[in-house]
């Protein structure tokens, strides 16, 4: 049977963490539930351990740092990652795992139903999710509708080949862009979305984290599509240079003189930047191709999922002896 790990990153989620752990242990009784406490100031760790989770700590603040640590520490065949705020539908996990295995995918995203997002998601978050999803779709040709979902199921080879460079909530965007750039088999699965528990508050800041997510998309676009990125810079600088030089050209044709020397220098400098951008794009695109081949080879070095898995114990395997000894303890 497969070894299934449930990974729950948490920061001050004492209100919901017990029920989250309990529900996952009921749905996947032979899996191991890990709760990674990211410097919580409440009783998150204590309550998670009491509910039967293996509790670990990550001192570097930020969801991206927690995901990086979880993916490095945990060895399993199937990974489920979910926020600890109690807003995601735990019973959907079996269907998401079935989809992952039956279709031999590397990632299944729990896409929150539109009606649920419309009614329960803060307006700023909802607008940001729509803008980011459409922007990623434009840049990478994605069919994803919920880029920022915190509920996902992964294969081992996805987790062990994911670079995890993000530090905060932009990690969901990085997960999505990585799968698209690597041309991995992925899909969405519609799941219900619930209102936060009374007294619980979102850790996502609409403007701060929205800006970080947007900058992450730009950075990843430069990383995975360098020729297009620097090609656009070339067009921008070249156009600006031509616009600045047109008045100088007309003056020269009429008088034979170039009276505005500083403008001519600026125009020439901008055109130089344009060609530097173009050459940079060509070089980086060549390097990216080589890196992509190396990443793809590393990805293919991990075995894929089997054609089917046992239905016993809700498709979960028994934790290792070490993990069993760690259950109900705080590490």
In the prediction, which pLDDT does 312 show? 46
Residue 69 CA to residue 270 CA, distance in Å, equals: 44
Average pLDDT, the chain: 84
In the prediction, which pLDDT does 197 show? 74
Q: Which residues contact 329 (CB under 8 A, 6 or more apart)?
A: 49, 54, 55
Highest-scoring range by mean pLDDT, 70-74, 180-184, 301-305, 322-326? 70-74
The arithmetic mean of pLDDT across residues 4-13, rounded, is: 94
In the prediction, which pLDDT does 194 show? 86
Does 76 score more than 80 pLDDT? yes
The arithmetic mean of pLDDT across residues 85-93, rounded, is: 92
Sheet holding 152-155, edge to edge: 54-57, 32-37, 4-10, 78-81, 152-155, 107-112, 186-191
The arithmetic mean of pLDDT across residues 174-200, rounded, is: 87
The arithmetic mean of pLDDT across residues 184-190, rounded, is: 94
Instruction: Report pLDDT digits (tens) over 124-178.
Output: 666 777 777 777 887 777 778 888 889 999 999 999 999 988 888 889 989 998 9
Q: Are strands 4-10 and 54-57 parallel, antiparallel or unpaired?
A: unpaired
Does 20 score more than 60 pLDDT? yes
The arithmetic mean of pLDDT across residues 171-192, rounded, is: 91
DSSP H or E stretch at residue 95: helix 93-102
In the prediction, which pLDDT does 115 show? 55
Residue 284 CA to residue 295 CA, distance in Å, equals: 16
Residue 23 CA to residue 51 CA, distance in Å, equals: 10
Instruction: Report pLDDT digits (tens) over 29-57.
Output: 989 999 999 999 999 999 999 999 999 99
Banded pLDDT at 327 (limits 50, 70, 90): very low
Identify the three-state secondary structure at position 40.
coil
């Amino acid at each position: 049977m497969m070894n299934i790990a449930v990974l729950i990153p948490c920061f001050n989620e004492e209100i919901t963490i017990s029920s989250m752990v309990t529900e996952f242990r009921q749905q996947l009784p032979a899996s191991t539930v890990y709760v990674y406490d990211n410097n919580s100031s409440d009783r998150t760790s204590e309550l998670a351990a009491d509910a039967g989770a293996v509790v670990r700590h990550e001192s570097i603040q930020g969801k991206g740092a927690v995901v990086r640590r979880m993916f490095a520490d945990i060895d399993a065949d199937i990974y489920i990652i979910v926020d600890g705020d109690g807003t995601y539908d735990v019973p959907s996990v079996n269907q998401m795992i079935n989809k992952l295995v039956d279709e031999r995918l590397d990632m299944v995203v729990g896409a929150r139903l539109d009606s649920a997002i419309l009614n329960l998601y803060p307006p700023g978050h909802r607008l940001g999710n729509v803008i980011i999803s459409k922007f990623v779709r434009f840049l990478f040709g994605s069919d994803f509708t919920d880029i920022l979902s915190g509920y996902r199921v992964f294969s081992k080879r996805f987790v062990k080949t994911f670079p995890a460079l993000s530090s905060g909530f932009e990690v969901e965007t990085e997960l999505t862009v990585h799968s698209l750039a690597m041309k991995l088999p992925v899909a969405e699965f519609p799941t219900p979305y619930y209102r936060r528990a009374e007294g619980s508050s979102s850790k996502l800041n609409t403007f701060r984290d929205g800006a970080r997510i947007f900058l992450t998309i730009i950075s990843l676009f430069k990383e995975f599509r360098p020729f297009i990125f620097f090609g656009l810079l070339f067009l921008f600088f070249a156009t600006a240079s031509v616009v600045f030089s047109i008045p100088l050209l007309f003056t020269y044709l009429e008088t034979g003189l170039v009276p505005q020397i500083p403008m001519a220098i600026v125009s020439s400098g901008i055109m130089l930047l344009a060609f530097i951008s173009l050459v940079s794009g060509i070089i980086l695109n060549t390097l990216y191709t080589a890196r992509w081949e190396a990443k793809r080879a590393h990805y293919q070095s991990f075995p894929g999922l089997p054609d089917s898995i046992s239905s016993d114990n809700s498709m979960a395997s028994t934790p290792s002896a070490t993990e069993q000894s760690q259950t109900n303890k705080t590490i």
